[in-house]
Structure 1
Amino acid sequence: MYNIKVNGIEYQREDDKKLLPFLRDDLGLTSAKDGCSEGACGTCTVLVDGKKVRACIFTLSKLDGKSVVTVEGISDREKEVYAYAFGDTGAVQCGFCIPGMVISAKSLLDNNLEPTRADVKKAIMGNICRCTGYAKIEDAILLSAKMFRENSPIPEMSSSGKVGEHLGRIDAREKVLGTGKYVDGITVEGMIYAKALRSKYPRAIVKDIRLDKALAHPDCVRILTAEDVPFNKTGHLVPDWDVLIAKGDTTRYIGDAIVLAASTKKETLDKILSLVEVDYEELTPLTNPLEAMKEDAPNLHPQGNILSKQMIARGNVDEAIKNSKYVVTNHYSVPMTDHAFMEPECAIGIPNGDGVLMYTASQSVYDEQREIARMLNISPVLVRCQTKLVGGGFGGKEDMSVQHHAALMAYITKKPVKVKFSRQESLNIHTKRHAMEIDITTACDENGVLTATKAMIISDCGAYASLGGPVLQRACTHLGGPYNFQNLEVDGTCVYTNNVPGGAFRGFGVTQSCFAQEQNINELAEKVGISPWEFRHKNAIRPGDELPNGQIAGEDTAFVECLEAVKDVFESNPYAGIAGAMKNAGLGVGVPDVGRSNLKIVDGKVHILTSAACIGQGIGNVMLAMVCETTGLDPSLIVHELADTAVTPNSGTTTASRQTLFAGEATRKA
């Protein structure tokens, strides 16, 4: 028998388990988050006898007789101060890490109300934040210390809420205090748990699948195979991604799902899956796009291994390079990158009449609705998707990961189903920033004026298309950078391999290609004998100039002003680097783009209805500012609703820095 006090209440338990599931599942204290379950991220930080620890590490047997404090158990005064300070300083974005930060702050301020910034940095060293860069979190903790030290009252909100006016995050309080609902913090009566058995090999033929032993497990509810899926494909743009790999088919990466099992207890899912017997014929995987491009390479998809080709040719590139004083040629290998959002993927599917109700955390409820409806072969109106708080996205929550599996199992079993990735599963399965191989030549004249760029890009698409085509297109169209020269040739190819699929990621391909161009520019500056800053300033695009891709720079172009703003800081810091880049706002390249928003008056308050997903960027504050600016209404009279396909109109995906422009303008017009 283990005795443990949590937030002042005594509990006794006979079974031993980790502290984190005890807090979250048994006691319903969800401020402590499950970000990794390996003691690495700090989202589950709590106090044990006054010292901060990670709840995912310690078991109840190790905590016998000890006292635990979570954010739910701190004093009302502390709650008010931390909620105000973190909201006012802009320390809260996706919010998933914040309760852990608050506990680390408390562990410091309980002993030192006059901390230095160095003290604060040390206190939160074990807490990872993916969104903010830490400076604002440090500001929040220093402000909290000041308020505690001076016994300051909580200031009244006095902002007009208009564009440019300071207003704390409207969702800060629920995120700071852990009362806001992320999907994994939700339980539904009668809920079961599902998980997929993933491929043992990146490329192998599934010869046989035997379920008898797994089905005999007392907790097993159902095991689904490809035969149970009405339409066994999904995919953001191209439906080429198998929901489940069928017997006789070939796996394409280690994240491929073979079967989907459901259990009455999440603790026994792995045991049930271990009883599934799969016979494979292992094949040699294609892990290098250059190998996959060879004529004798096996086809990973029926149409071959080339997903997309892009070609940009402007001016006489070869002649310009030939006549240039300085020429730099390099090869750059840019690796895949994980988004590292703090919240692992989680979704709940609930039977709802002839369809399903989904609780999700993605970048578009309408994308989910479309792909789930297609998979189930039912009308989209039968799939209702409601977003909960999203613990970061950065492009990594645009594709299906857990949503379609939760929907499928709920639809077939007629039971509520939760599907959740561990951190390792998230790393193995969801899309990444595309790895690219880039050969690039950049040239300039004797004065450092750019004359031409010629490049070849090979993008590793991974196993499935996702957004590989548009990502390649942006990598090519933006490769020249924000500079004024007109000789550009870029040859791009996106290639299927047996690696983890590439997908959307901040920068959307531009990060990779601009990195290569900027490195070449640094070498050219050295050859010319001028500073990297001067080289960029000399070639910077200005209003009315023509970009290398042919676009005319608008009157609001301010790259020169950006460079001039950082000149002194750059030149006074010998170890500082400098680079320039540009990125489209919106889908770009002439594709129609739409933002939608409705305003509804309920009980004297204006409710903003738009499906624009908040993944931490603060879309609620943006929409509120639009209404306040346009109407002059007080912020207290405005409510921002979370996205729901049954209520909020489709404003497209939260991607491409588009929601402020499109959903914001729609809200202003509404």
Structure 2
Amino acid sequence: MRLSLIVNGQSRTLEVQPEATLLEVLRDHLRLTGAKNGCGEGVCGACTVLLNGRPVRACRLPAYKAIGQEVLTVEGLSLREKEIYAWAFTSAGAVQCGFCTPGMVMEAKALLDRNPDPSEEEIRQAFKGHLCRCTGYQKIITAVQAAARALRGEIKPDQGEEAGMGRRFFRPEAPAKVLGQAIYVDDLVFPGMLYGAVLRPPYARARLVSLDVSPALQIPGVVTVLTAKDIPGERYQGLIFKDWPALVAVGEEVRYVGDAIALVAAESPYIARKALESIKVEYEPLPPVTSPAEALAPGAPSLHPKGNVLSETRILKGNAEEALKSCAYVVTNTYRTPFTEHAFLEPESAIAVPEGEGLTIYTSTQGVYEVQEQIASLLGLPPEKIRVINQYVGGAFGGKEDLSVQHHAALLAWASRRPVKITLSRRESILVHPKRHAMEIKLTTGCDEEGRLVALVAEITSDTGAYASLGAQVLERACTHVTGPYRIPHVKIYGRAVYTNNPPAGAFRGFGVPQVTFACESQLNLLAQKIGKSPWEIRWINALEPGDTIATGQVVTEDVGIKETLLAVKEVFESSPYAGIACAFKNVGLGVGTRDIGRANLVIREGKVLIYSGAACLGQGLESVLIQIVAEATGLPAEKIEVVLADTALTPDAGITTASRQSLFTGEAVRRAASELARELKEYALEELEGRTFAGEFYGVTDPINSGKEHPVTHVAYGYATHVVILDEEGRVSKVVAAHDVGRAINPLNIEGQIEGGVVMGLGFALTEDFPVKEGIPQYQQMGRLGLFRFTQVPRIETILVEKGGTQYAFGAKGLGEIASIPTAAAVAGAYFRRDGIFRTSLPLEGTPYRRRKKEEE
């Protein structure tokens, strides 16, 4: 179809597919990549552009409907507008992963063009069609208000604070993200690039009887079709356990609906999809195993050679069962939490490019070295033949630790000897990548007459789905944290992770701890009621203090700050009859005896310090953290310091970005390297050190669970938090106060954004997000049905930063990314319990205004 458009003031005539959307035309034909494809459903707002000044969702608008109309993208803003919006969003801390931000900017422009001075409520209403999984929305509202004032000439953009510890230093990458200049994987195009697609089964469990790909090979434009027999190396991969086939072979069982059967590479996405439809497949459907109870039942089919139990964890401290007999009060309940979808705004994408005797993979991942190791194994190549380059990552939250598209793009590129891109649709993303574990937690908790905890017995069953992913490690973390940040002399914990034919479950922000915190904190609310103490008081008298031991036997030291967070929220909790409270603690680093190393090299080049580290930046602000650490150690200004994105050919292995570890682990590695540089700077100017490299490494030595040591070090550090949730008269959340012991606050602006985003994610976990699975098949396969919180639903969020001592590493910093979302759901449950007296034991909570509305919408 011949298409004539006016885009950013220029007339353009193009030949496009008749069914092309405006977004496809902008991105694929005009290379205007500021607008992003986050959902393809018109519900996330990442693709927002203006059509005759009106905001539209370009992913849903047929391109022909834009004929004769003025199309404006973020690239077409005036220089003054670009300066103001870049400053406003950066200074407000409204940019994290940045994938959704250009769409927000275009919505802001449309609003401010028609209303130069909108109220907060008008901003919320204008942005109700936008999703952001990172920021929690509050700072986006602040950004729009700042932009409005600047456009009216009332204020001028500034540069923020200088780099250094404790400074509200502006993220250096934020302006590029705001203006659509930051490059994400799907923004890249290579000469001769093919487009990959993956055939997946309609069943959660079935035997693959036959597979005929010859019809696909006959379609013009199809270059390569691959099946399991075409894999040159190890077909089964996985982060820890190698139990996940890159392609299911004929004669094998399909274990979930996201399994891969065949791969196609073609000259266009349209041809690739057409080729998939032509492949002839015969399945023998088998009854799926849809729950841990079914998987553990006598006679259940064995889903893996090792059986249906992935792992077990046992923790003993004292004699819990005997101690319960002496308790004045004992409560026992079984709690249930659902699968949850990560819903990062950037769908999975990878491009594999043949180079010499190997491949270069451009991707969006939490660990470039983990991708390198698995792809090298898959192709039967030495790791040095595989180069993995991380682009900007559009959100992850644990959901980009496993292979998703990288291995399939690599196989197709290796076979075709041409670059191959695979980008998942939102539906594919929901079907394919691991979720938060659904858990059943049976918990017995006992205390004495004064409310002092005496004993806890826990049995935790985790649905790890079709493949291991990080299920064993998530279970471990659930077991080590089910006691909460409390002094409990007697503990008995048993957990097991069970295979089913449900979607795999793996890492998700909090790593098993949000689930068990909901159970632990709910138990405390019941005990408080029984003994006649307030929910705050029972937490205060049991909160960990220096010298206490946790369930694993680790002694907490002077950096424990749970009591300080409780004091910080005492007044606000006691001022409302409808307030709920919950505490949490969360490990920093992999711990439990796992080899855990942060690394960084500082290279002096052209009068600047370049920070090389394989640590993945996911939107959490790692770039600014590392720059601030170097600035603090050396006294150098920020403009002399840059961060290089993770690249296995350039940056040292700093471990995967998980377990809230990078600020401490890679931060400490950078501090050590910067300390060496600082010593040299006492004698030499920076320019005189041209070409020098200063290397830093930090190894967090820990002990395994049940190591036999009297006082093991299970983790190098822990963060602590207390959240208070306040309901209004209608039963809606009106305010959340989140107090966090962060050690030393490297960048308060970043920390506030992390906490606000974590709180909103926790609110969704408590109230609206669900992921029902029937016969192994997810029932919600669209982003719009996931129940994600939106602008109009978010309450006021107040953050309180407690800087209690800190660690001995990274100038005292602790990790924060996970704990920000952990106590919220439990605090919400506590608030409703106080309001209506109904004790709820499953999430999302039933009988709230949020669930009633959701059911009506469905």
Q: Same fold judged by TM-score > 0.5? A: yes
Kindly provide the CA deviation profile for residues 542-571 of structure 1, in whole angstroms up to 9, marking residues without a partner as x.
111122332211101010000110111222
Candidates 552, 557, 573, aligned match of 1:549? 552
The 3 A distance-change label for structure 1 pair 634 and 287 is same
Residue of structure 2 in register with 1:162 after alignment: 164
In structure 2, runs of 5+ residues without a counterpart are: 674-858
Letter in 2 for 1:3: S
Cα displacement (A) at 1:183: 0.2
Residue of structure 1 in register with 2:494 after alignment: 491
Cα displacement (A) at 1:117: 1.6
Cα displacement (A) at 1:151: 5.6
Residue of structure 1 in register with 2:815 after alignment: none
Say whether 1:400 aligns with 2:407: no
Range moving further from structure 2, 545-554 or 128-137: 545-554
Candidates 448, 468, 471, aligned match of 2:471? 468
Say whether 1:75 aligns with 2:66: no
Letter in 2 for 1:389: Y
Q: Are 2:88 and 2:157, in contact at CA under 8 Å, matched by a contact in 1?
A: no
Letter in 1 for 2:257: I
Cα displacement (A) at 1:158: 6.2
Kindly provide the CA deviation profile for residues 269-311 of structure 1, in whole angstroms up to 9, marking residues without a partner as x.
2211010011111111111111111231111111111110111
Paired with 2:231 and 2:3, the residues of 1 have a C-alpha distance of: 45
Say whether 1:50 aligns with 2:53: yes
Residue of structure 2 in register with 1:194 after alignment: 196
Paired with 1:180 and 1:616, the residues of 2 have a C-alpha distance of: 12
Paired with 1:566 and 1:10, the residues of 2 have a C-alpha distance of: 58
Residue of structure 2 in register with 1:89 after alignment: 92
Cα displacement (A) at 1:314: 1.4
Q: Are 1:482 and 1:541, in contact at CA under 8 Å, matched by a contact in 2?
A: yes
Cα displacement (A) at 1:388: 0.3
Kindly provide the CA deviation profile for residues 563-603 of structure 1, in whole angstroms up to 9, marking residues without a partner as x.
11011122223333211111110001232311000011111
Say whether 1:625 aligns with 2:623: no
Cα displacement (A) at 1:318: 1.5
Letter in 2 for 1:171: E
Residue correspondence of structure 1 range 450-529 to structure 2 within 5 A: 450-529=453-532
Residue of structure 1 in register with 2:220 after alignment: 218
Say whether 1:276 aligns with 2:279: yes
Candidates 293, 296, 310, aligned match of 1:307? 310
Letter in 2 for 1:575: Y
Paired with 2:218 and 2:167, the residues of 1 have a C-alpha distance of: 62
2:455 is paired with a residue whose SS is: strand
Letter in 2 for 1:272: A
Kindly provide the CA deviation profile for residues 393-433 of structure 1, in whole angstroms up to 9, marking residues without a partner as x.
10000000001111111111110000111001010010111
Candidates 146, 151, 162, aligned match of 2:149? 146
Residue of structure 1 in register with 2:258 after alignment: 255
Cα displacement (A) at 1:495: 0.7
Residue of structure 2 in register with 1:9 after alignment: 10
Paired with 1:370 and 1:183, the residues of 2 have a C-alpha distance of: 20
Letter in 2 for 1:469: A
> What percentage of aligned pairs have identical amino acids?
51
Say whether 1:539 aligns with 2:542: yes
Residue of structure 2 in register with 1:383 after alignment: 386
Paired with 2:593 and 2:302, the residues of 1 have a C-alpha distance of: 32
Letter in 2 for 1:556: D
Residue correspondence of structure 1 range 434-453 to structure 2 within 5 A: 434-453=437-456
Candidates 345, 348, 356, aligned match of 2:359? 356
Cα displacement (A) at 1:513: 1.3
Kindly provide the CA deviation profile for residues 355-384 of structure 1, in whole angstroms up to 9, marking residues without a partner as x.
100101100110100010011111000000
2:241 is paired with a residue whose SS is: coil
Paired with 1:114 and 1:257, the residues of 2 have a C-alpha distance of: 52
Paired with 2:309 and 2:5, the residues of 1 have a C-alpha distance of: 59
1:415 is paired with a residue whose SS is: coil
Say whether 1:654 aligns with 2:640: no
Q: Are 2:290 and 2:500, in contact at CA under 8 Å, matched by a contact in 1?
A: yes
The 3 A distance-change label for structure 1 pair 592 and 14 is closer
1:308 is paired with a residue whose SS is: strand
Paired with 1:592 and 1:579, the residues of 2 have a C-alpha distance of: 32
Letter in 1 for 2:530: K
Residue of structure 2 in register with 1:559 after alignment: 562
Structure 1-normalised TM-score? 0.98
Cα displacement (A) at 1:63: 2.1
Paired with 2:50 and 2:94, the residues of 1 have a C-alpha distance of: 22
Q: Are 1:488 and 1:549, in contact at CA under 8 Å, matched by a contact in 2?
A: no
Paired with 1:384 and 1:92, the residues of 2 have a C-alpha distance of: 29
Kindly provide the CA deviation profile for residues 468-492 of structure 1, in whole angstroms up to 9, marking residues without a partner as x.
1111111111111100111111111
Paired with 1:46 and 1:576, the residues of 2 have a C-alpha distance of: 41
Q: Are 2:91 and 2:160, in contact at CA under 8 Å, matched by a contact in 1?
A: no
Cα displacement (A) at 1:13: 4.3
Cα displacement (A) at 1:346: 0.2
Candidates 107, 110, 113, aligned match of 1:107? 110
Letter in 2 for 1:11: R
1:583 is paired with a residue whose SS is: strand
Q: CA RMSD in A?
A: 1.2
Q: Are 2:316 and 2:551, in contact at CA under 8 Å, matched by a contact in 1?
A: no
Residue of structure 2 in register with 1:236 after alignment: 239
Paired with 1:268 and 1:115, the residues of 2 have a C-alpha distance of: 47
Paired with 2:575 and 2:192, the residues of 1 have a C-alpha distance of: 63
Letter in 1 for 2:180: G
Paired with 1:2 and 1:364, the residues of 2 have a C-alpha distance of: 42
Residue of structure 1 in register with 2:648 after alignment: 645
Paired with 1:470 and 1:551, the residues of 2 have a C-alpha distance of: 18
Cα displacement (A) at 1:61: 2.2
Residue correspondence of structure 1 range 412-427 to structure 2 within 5 A: 412-427=415-430
The 3 A distance-change label for structure 1 pair 635 and 225 is same
Paired with 1:223 and 1:354, the residues of 2 have a C-alpha distance of: 21
Say whether 1:173 aligns with 2:190: no
Cα displacement (A) at 1:19: 0.5
1:629 is paired with a residue whose SS is: helix
Q: Are 2:231 and 2:379, in contact at CA under 8 Å, matched by a contact in 1?
A: yes
Cα displacement (A) at 1:14: 5.7
2:152 is paired with a residue whose SS is: helix
Kindly provide the CA deviation profile for residues 310-369 of structure 1, in whole angstroms up to 9, marking residues without a partner as x.
111211211221221211111111111111100000000000111100101100110100
Q: Are 2:164 and 2:628, in contact at CA under 8 Å, matched by a contact in 1?
A: yes
Residue correspondence of structure 1 range 292-371 to structure 2 within 5 A: 292-371=295-374
In structure 1, runs of 5+ residues without a counterpart are: none
The 3 A distance-change label for structure 1 pair 610 and 330 is same
1:145 is paired with a residue whose SS is: helix
Range moving further from structure 2, 73-82 or 530-539: 530-539
Kindly provide the CA deviation profile for residues 488-544 of structure 1, in whole angstroms up to 9, marking residues without a partner as x.
111111111111111111111111112111111111111111111111111111111
Paired with 1:294 and 1:111, the residues of 2 have a C-alpha distance of: 63
Cα displacement (A) at 1:150: 1.8
Residue of structure 2 in register with 1:60 after alignment: 63
